[in-house]
Amino acid sequence: MQFVFLMEQVVNGLVLGGYYLLIALGLSLIFSVGGIVNLSHGAFYALGAYVSIEIAKYLGFAGGAILSPVIVGLLGILFERFILRRFYTADPILSLLVTFGFAMIGEQLIRILWGAAPIPVSMPAAMKGPVMVGDFLFSRYRLFLLAVVVVILAGIWFLLNKTAFGRVVRAGIQKPDMVAALGIRLQPYMTAVIVLGVGLAALGGALFAPITIVHPAMGAEILTVAFVVVVIGGLGSFWGVIVAALMVGVVRGVTIHFVPAAGAASMYLLMFLVLMLRPRGLFGERIEKFE
């Protein structure tokens, strides 16, 4: 039976990893296009949760979860056009400061619009409760979350690897000058990727709202985990983020199984070990801007 419980933690950890993945992937995407470390990613996540709740009042949970990322993603156009665009070639410290400032403005804005008190949200009754497979227990809602994450991952992989859009983006990440010399304007592609990243954050917020507390500072909480995941995986690496997110989830679950009090510390320890062996993260490439 002990083995079953441990396996249960491992599987739950993998699901939990999927849960971190949604936020970390957007963060990593935004980083890879302009070298922007987007500290306001958490604010978009929080905004996604709040907007989805407003929409859900009229269109139900599914309506909120689908429309909120679209609406918040469109805000990403403004964010790219008026803020990020100025910092692609600047010292990374500047974009760090600006996005950090934006995170604070975003949190305060939410506080003004919706108040500091948390918003009560419950999940649709049909999704609540466990699913038992033999001795294994899973959360029905998280299995749904996992399915969404898998679909999104597949979609993004397809977009980046199998479409003309993806080829330009990948080329733009590697050799922006060459792309420009070929007569392709990179700017709209940059904007699209940022919109995608911001939309993913908002989708995360909308999907996590039923299982976590919805309050103005919720973005800051998730951002820490997302950063640890991105750093372990290696900045800007698609597969790095996936492997790292799953690792963090499993390591947390297994640590909590044996030493509950060390649960929160375990992911930092993992980060420490990985960075000792691979200073750029598991799949990280050399990034000139930061070296």
Partner 1 sequence: MTKRMFEIGGGSLVTRRSALKFGAAGLAAGSMLSMPAIVRAQADAIKIGHLTPMTGFLGVLGEWAVQGIQMAAEEINAAGGVMGRKLEVASEDSINPDTAATKAQRMLERDGVAFLMGEISSASALAISQVAARNKRLFMALGPRSDTLRGKSCNRYMFCTDIPNTVMVNAVGSSLMRDNMVKGKKFAAVTSDYVFGHDLLRAAKAFFDTHGGNIVSDDLVATDVTDFSPYLLKIRQAQPDVVCLNLAGNQVTNFVKQYAEYGLPFPTVGFNLNTADAWAAGLGNLAGTWPTVWYHTLDNPASLAFVEAFKTKYGKIPENHAWIEYVSLKMMAQAMEETKSTDSEALVDYLEKGAEFDILKDRKAYFRSWDHQLIQEAYPFSVKADATDVIDMMELGAAVPGADESLEVIYPTREQNPCSL
Q: Taking the complex as a whole, how short is the minimal distance between the CB of residue 8 and partner 1, in angstroms?
A: 5
Largest CA distance in the chain: 63
DSSP symbol at 281: -
Dist. CA 78–CA 68, nearest whole Å = 16
The stretch near partner 1 (CB under 8 A) out of 57-65, 138-146, 178-186, 196-204 is 138-146
Residue 253 near partner 1 by CB under 8 A:
yes
CB neighbours of 149 closer than 8 A, spacing ≥ 6?
18, 19, 21, 22
Cα(199)–Cα(44) distance, integer angstroms: 8
- Give 39 or 84: the residue with its C-beta nearer to partner 1: 39
Asked whether 194 and 80 are in contact (CB, 8 A), the reply is yes
Rounded alpha-carbon distances, angstroms, from residue 237 to 144, 155, 194, 253, 284: 26, 16, 16, 24, 6
The DSSP-derived string for 94-122 is: HHHHHHHHHHHHHHHHHHHHH-SSPBP--
The answer to whether 191 contacts partner 1 (rule: CB under 8 A) is: no
Helix (H/G/I), strand (E/B), else coil: 55? helix
Provide the minimum distance between the beta carbon of 34 and partner 1 in the complex, in angstroms, as a whole number: 29
The residue from 71, 257, 285, 287 that contacts partner 1 (CB under 8 A) is 257
DSSP string, 166-181: HHHHHHHHH-HHHHHH
Residue number with CB closer to partner 1 (2 or 89): 2
Pair of tokens at residue 229: 């995941």
Residue 82 exposed, middle or buried by CB count within 10 Å (0-12, 13-18, 19+): exposed
Q: Tell which positions 16-55 bind partner 1, by CB under 8 A.
A: 16, 19
Out of 146, 191, 238, 252, the residue judged to bind partner 1 by CB under 8 A: 252
Gap between the Cα atoms of 101 and 98, Å rounded: 5
Task: Choose which of 137, 153, 275, 287 interacts with partner 1 (CB under 8 A).
Answer: 137
- 62, 264, 269, 273: residue in contact with partner 1 (rule CB under 8 A): 264
Identify which of residues 139 and 152 has a Cβ nearer to partner 1 in the complex: 139
Looking at the Cβ atoms of 18 and 233, the one nearer to partner 1 is 18
Residue 279 interacting with partner 1 (CB under 8 A): no
- Contact call for residue 128 and partner 1 (CB under 8 A): yes
Given phi > 0 = left and psi -120 to 50 = alpha, else beta, which region is 134? left
Closest CB to partner 1 among residues 20, 238: 20
From 26-34, 123-131, 147-155, 182-190, give the range in contact with partner 1 by CB under 8 A.
123-131
CB of 260 to partner 1, least distance (A): 4
Residue from 260, 277, 288, 291 that binds partner 1 (CB under 8 A)?
Answer: 260
Which positions touch partner 1 (CB under 8 A)? 5, 8-9, 12-13, 15-16, 19, 115-123, 125, 128-130, 137, 139, 141-142, 210-215, 217, 221-222, 224, 252-253, 256-257, 260-261, 263-265
